[in-house]
Each structure stands twice: as C-alpha cells, then as structure tokens.
C-alpha cells in the first residue's frame, strides 16, 4: 500500500486532503511526468456524474498538459468504458474521476495502463515519488494539447454489443434498468434496446448530487418494487461508475454478484468457454457458490478482496471469469476490467439461449445466508489485540462448524470495519454478526 493509493485508486471526501483541486493538479503533473519518461505520452480522462467531477477534470487536465502530455476528454463515461477506450485510442494511460458507489460528497481517481488494466503498484510508487518533487512545467513548446472525443460513446456502445452473439434476440423480455443517476445514464437504454428487449429506465437523470442516492447496485429496494409493479421479467442495477452489476428476478428477489458469476460460469462450462475451468472469487465469495461450482467440477480460487486482486489471480491462473458478491464481475475474454453492462449482456445471452428465467438460473445455486455489518471506525484501528473479539470469533466459528465462517476486515476504501458471518442457519448468523459488531463498536 502506498501513501495515497488504496485498493482501488485514491478516494475520499471532496475538499479534504487529498481530494482537493491543488492535489489533483499536481497528481496530473506527477502521473504525466512518469508517463513522459518513455517518450511522448497521451491520456484519456473520463468521469462519473458528480458535481465535483468538473473541477477535478480541469485540475488533472492542467497537470497533464504542464507535464507535456496530450489529453483526450471523454466526459461522463463508465469506468470500464475508459479502460476499453484507453486501449482503443492507443493512449499511454486512462484516468477515471469517480468514487464508484459512494455518494456525491466523495470523489476519487482510478488509473488504467495502456492495455486497459488497473495501474500496477510499481507505477503507483513511481508516481508518489515524483509527487514529492517540486512541480515544474515543461517549456511552452512542449505543453500538451487537449481535445474532446465526441465519438467515444458510440465506440463503447458498439464494443458492448459485440460481446454477445449477434443472433441473440431479447424481444418479449421486459427489463427495468437502474442507472444509479451515474455514468451509464446515457448508454444503457441504447445498448439493451438494440437486442429487442422492452426497456424501462429509472434513475437516469443525474444532477451532480443524486448519484447512488437510494438507488443503483448498492440500494435496490426501488428497483425490486418496480420490477414487481410492472410485471417485468428482470431488473438490472449498475453503480455510479458502471463497474458493478446486481440483478433482480421477476419476483423482485435480488441476484447478487456471486449468483451472476455462477450463472455465467455454468453456461461457459457447458459451451467449453470457461478458460482453464477456473473461476476466481474473494474471501467474501459465498460458500453456496463455492459448493455449486465444485459440484460442476469447476475450480475456485480465492483472491484478496478488491477487483484488482481478482484480476491478478485471473491472469496468474489463466482464468476468463472472476468476480465479487458486490457485483464486480470480470469477463476477461471480453474486456480488461469489471464491466456492469457487459456482465449483464452475458447473463441475458444465457437466458435467451437456455429459455430459462433468471429465477430458474439463480435457483441452480443454493446461496448461504450471509450478514455483513459495516462499523464506522478510526482509520488504522488495530483489532488484532482485542482479546474479547478474538475469543468471541473463535466461539462463533466453532458453533457454525464446516458450513459457516467469519471474516472481519478493515475496508480498503472507507474508514469502516466490515464484519461478515455466513452459515446455513440465518438466525445464528444474524445473532453472531451482531455480537461481533457490538464488541468492535
């Protein structure tokens, strides 16, 4: 871990260091200076719909230009679209201004390499080392040039459509799509309606302040009600920057990332498309998913929590599919990052070809009850010396037995400790999680 970079870029409250305009100005210069060491460099910059995005876009742009780096401005764009367009435009790096699923008060920045993958630790360390130096602009003859890429949306839409069989016909299927008032608001309807589905879009009117507000992949209550109210076949929910996906079946029941990964894995296995017969998840991946994959003779590999760690394990083990219960799903044979739209299209292709409903596909995996409690804490809180917590955790694990587990960890993106308890007995799981959370709080 570096001074500024967390598990997914830099993120925090706007106006509080390091999420300030002057920091982003120098960050753009530092990143640009590192990229320019290999010769003339260029970057693409996208953002979600937060009101602060304009401020940080301008600051980063000025920083890059002062380092002699050319800048292409993409405007509001899903994070995975920036990853794809970085490679498509032959840019040296891609930049996304976003705080993902957080509310508008927060913002942040993520970086992609020239190949569309999350920037590696080596570059992050080089950037922070450069950041410690005084900021010095290149001479006037070498200042970078900026342009707006007006055709970027169309390029990304066509790319998404190309990731499923063009014979897929979704006519007769009704879908409610929740855009979280975020970066998919001007893309989702065009993509999914192209395949003949009857589309209803909700939360697609961003105003800079309503991103992720009681909507999207982290708050699906309204979507669940809307699917039932309209008698729709299913619902799709993205988060603010479009890299997460969760779904809702026709009964209004949530289908999370683990269940989506299982649905895709089973179909790809049957089609001999599941590379190396392996799926990558994390410590949080549901026991039910693990057991269901095992019953299909599919290997499961556990990565550290965070989509960049999932990606690392996928590349190391030559896997084409990985993801998290939160909805970060990586279809590596299709794209280089977690992509909510592309993941949803893979599920819709399975539905169209199998003639099964989302509910039927979901039912092929028995999900274990899982309770997750987030506790606000001071940053850097050390729980390893709390004997009461250690003893209680051991007692809980003994009571849960082989069909349950406990995971307590500090978030890599927020000042919270997450307590997760999982097992077959929901009441025992809830009671155990509450006890553990009480000691921590």
In a domain, 398, yes or no: yes
The CATH number that applies at residue 136 is 3.40.120.10
What's 408's domain CATH number?
A: 3.30.310.50
Same domain for 169 and 199, yes or no, is yes
Segment holding 29, helix H or strand E: helix 21-36
| Domain co-membership, 82 together with 67 | yes
Q: Is 415 helix (H, G, I), strand (E, B) or coil?
A: coil
Contact 144, 33 (CB under 8 A): no
Could you say which DSSP state residue 423 is in? E
With 0-12 CB in 10 A as exposed, 13-18 as middle and 19+ as buried, what is 427? exposed
Catalytic one of 42, 98, 100, 114: 100
Q: Is residue 2 part of a domain?
A: no
167 has catalytic annotation: no
CA distances from 279 to 259, 265, 274, 322 (A): 13, 7, 8, 5
The domain boundary residue, chosen from 125, 150, 175: 150
CA 325 to chain centre: 11
pLDDT of residue 55: 98
Structural domains counted in the chain: 3
The pLDDT score that the predictor gives to residue 17 is: 95
CA torsion 195-76-18-219 (nearest 10°) is -40
Q: How far is it, in rounded angstroms, from Cα 79 to Cα 429?
A: 35
Report the 3 state secondary structure along 313-360. Answer: HHHHCCCCEEECCCCEEEECCCCCCCCHHHHHHHHHHHHHHHCCCHHH
> Are residues 186 and 287 both part of a single domain?
yes
Contacts of 95 (CB under 8 A, 6+ apart): 31, 43, 44, 45, 46, 60, 82, 109, 110, 111, 112
- The DSSP secondary-structure symbol of 184 reads T
Task: Indicate if 395 and 315 belong to the same structural domain.
Answer: no
- One domain for residues 383 and 362: no
What is the rounded CA–CA span in Å between residue 30 and residue 427?
52
Whether 92 and 197 share a structural domain: no
Statement to judge: residues 412 and 339 lie in one domain: no
Same domain, 195 and 263: yes
Within-domain flag for 1: no
Q: What pLDDT is recorded for position 53?
A: 98
Q: How would DSSP label each residue in 233-288?
A: SEEEEE-TTS-BEEEEETTS-EE-HHHHHHHHHHHHHHTT-SGGGEEEEETTS-HH
367, 391, 420 - which closes a domain: 367
User: In 3-state terms, what secondary structure has residue 74?
Assistant: strand
Contact 328, 83 (CB under 8 A): no
The tens-digit pLDDT sequence of the chain (441 residues) is: 468 887 778 999 999 999 999 999 999 999 999 999 989 999 999 999 999 999 999 999 999 999 999 999 999 999 999 999 999 999 999 999 999 999 999 999 999 999 999 988 888 899 999 999 999 999 999 999 999 999 999 999 999 999 999 899 999 999 999 999 999 999 999 999 999 999 999 999 999 999 999 999 999 999 999 999 999 999 999 999 999 999 999 999 999 999 999 999 999 999 999 999 999 999 889 999 999 999 999 999 999 988 889 999 999 999 999 999 999 999 999 999 999 999 999 999 999 999 999 999 999 999 999 899 999 887 666 777 888 888 899 999 899 988 889 989 887 667 888 999 999 889 999 999 999 999 888
Report the Cα 115 to chain-centroid distance in Å.
18
Domain range holding 389?
370-440
By the 10 Å C-beta count (0-12 exposed, 13-18 middle, 19+ buried), 132 is classed as exposed
Residues 209 and 116 in one domain: no
Scan for tokens 């800079």, then name that residue: 208
């Amino acid at each position: 871990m570096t001074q500024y970079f967390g598990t997914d870029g830099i993120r925090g409250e706007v106006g509080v260091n390091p999420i300030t305009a002057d920091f982003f100005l120098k960050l753009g210069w530092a990143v640009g200076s590192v990229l320019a060491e290999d010769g003339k460099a260029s970057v693409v910059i996208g953002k979600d719909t937060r009101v602060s995005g304009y401020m940080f876009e301008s600051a980063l742009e000025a920083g890059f230009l002062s380092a002699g780096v050319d800048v292409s401005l993409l405007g509001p764009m899903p994070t995975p679209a920036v990853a794809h367009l970085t490679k498509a435009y032959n840019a040296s790096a891609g930049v996304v201004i976003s705080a993902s699923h957080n509310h508008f008060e927060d913002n942040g920045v993520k970086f992609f390499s020239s190949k569309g993958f999350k920037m590696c630790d080596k570059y992050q360390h080089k950037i922070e080392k450069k950041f410690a130096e005084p900021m010095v602009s290149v001479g006037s003859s070498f200042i970078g040039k900026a342009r707006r890429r007006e055709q970027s949306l169309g390029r990304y839409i066509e790319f998404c459509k190309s990731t499923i069989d063009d014979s897929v016909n979704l006519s007769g299927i009704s879908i409610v799509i929740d855009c979280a008032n975020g970066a998919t608001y001007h893309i989702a309807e065009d993509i999914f309606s192209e395949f003949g589905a009857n589309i209803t879009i909700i939360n697609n009117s961003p105003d800079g302040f309503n991103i992720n507000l009681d909507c999207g992949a982290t708050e699906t209550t309204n979507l669940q009600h809307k699917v039932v109210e309209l008698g729709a076949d299913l619902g799709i929910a993205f988060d603010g920057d479009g890299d997460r996906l969760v779904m809702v079946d026709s009964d209004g029941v949530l289908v999370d990332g683990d269940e989506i990964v299982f649905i895709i894995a089973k179909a790809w296995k049957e089609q001999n498309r599941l590379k190396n017969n392996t799926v990558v998840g994390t410590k949080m991946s549901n026991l039910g998913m693990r057991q269901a994959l095992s019953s299909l003779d599919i290997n499961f590999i556990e990565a550290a929590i965070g989509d960049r760690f999932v990606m690392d394990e996928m590349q190391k083990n030559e896997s084409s599919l990985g993801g998290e219960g939160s909805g970060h799903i990586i279809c590596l044979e299709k794209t280089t990052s977690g992509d909510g739209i592309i993941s949803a299209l893979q599920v819709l292709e399975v539905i169209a070809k199998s003639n099964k409903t989302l509910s039927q596909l979901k039912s092929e995996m028995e999900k274990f009850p899982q309770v997750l409690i987030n506790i606000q804490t001071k940053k850097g809180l050390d729980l390893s010396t709390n004997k009461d917590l250690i003893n209680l955790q051991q007692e809980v694990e003994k009571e849960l037995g082989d069909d349950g587990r406990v995971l307590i960890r500090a978030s890599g993106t927020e000042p919270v400790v997450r307590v997760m308890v999982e097992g077959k007995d929901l009441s025992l799981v809830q009671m155990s999680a509450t006890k553990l959370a009480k000691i921590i709080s």
